[in-house]
Structure 1
Amino acid sequence: MSYASTNDMQKRFGQQDLVLLTEREDSDPEQINMPILEQALTDASAEINGYLAGRYSLPLTIVPTVLTRLCCDIARYFLGTDNAPEHITERYQNAIKFLVAVGKGTLSLGVDELGANAQTDDTAVMQSAGSVFARGKSKGFI
Structure 2
Amino acid sequence: MYASLDDLIERAGEREILQIADRDRDQIADAEVVEAALANAANLVDGYVGTRYATPLSPVPDLARTWSVSIARYFLYANNRPQEVVDDYKDALSGLKDVAAKRISLPVAEGEQSPTDLSGTTLAVHPDPVFTPQKLRGW
Which segments of 5 or more consecutive residues in structure 1 lack a partner in the other structure?
Answer: 116-142
Counterpart Cα distance in 1 of 2:86 and 2:79: 11
Alignment partners' CA distance in 1, 2:86 and 2:78: 8
| % identity of equivalent residues | 30
> Which of 110, 113, 116 lines up with 1:114 in the alignment?
116
* Partners of 2:48 and 2:96 within 8 A in 1: yes
Alpha carbons 1:55, 1:113 under 8 Å: kept? no
Larger radius of gyration: 1
RMSD: 1.5
Structure 1 length as normaliser, TM-score?
0.74
Decide whether the 8 Å contact of 1:10 with 1:18 is kept in 2: yes
TM-score by length of 2: 0.75
Any residues of structure 2 matched to 1:51-66 within 5 Å, and which?
51-66=48-63
Distance of 1:107 and 1:14 partners within structure 2: 30
The answer to whether the 8 A contact 2:57-2:115 is kept is no
Structure 2 residue identity aligned to 1:7: D
Aligned length: 112
Shift of 1:86: 1.0
Q: Which residue is equivalent to 1:48?
A: 45
Describe how 1:1-142 pairs up with structure 2 within 5 A: 2-24=1-23, 27-110=24-107, 112-114=114-116
Gaps of 5+ in 2: 109-113, 118-139
Please state how far the C-alpha of 1:114 moved relative to its aligned partner.
1.1
- After superposition, the Cα gap between the structure-2 partners of 1:81 and 1:107, relative to the gap in structure 1 and judged at 3 Å, is farther
- 1:38-89 Cα shifts (integer Å, max 9, x gaps): 1100100000100011100111121111111110110000111411011110
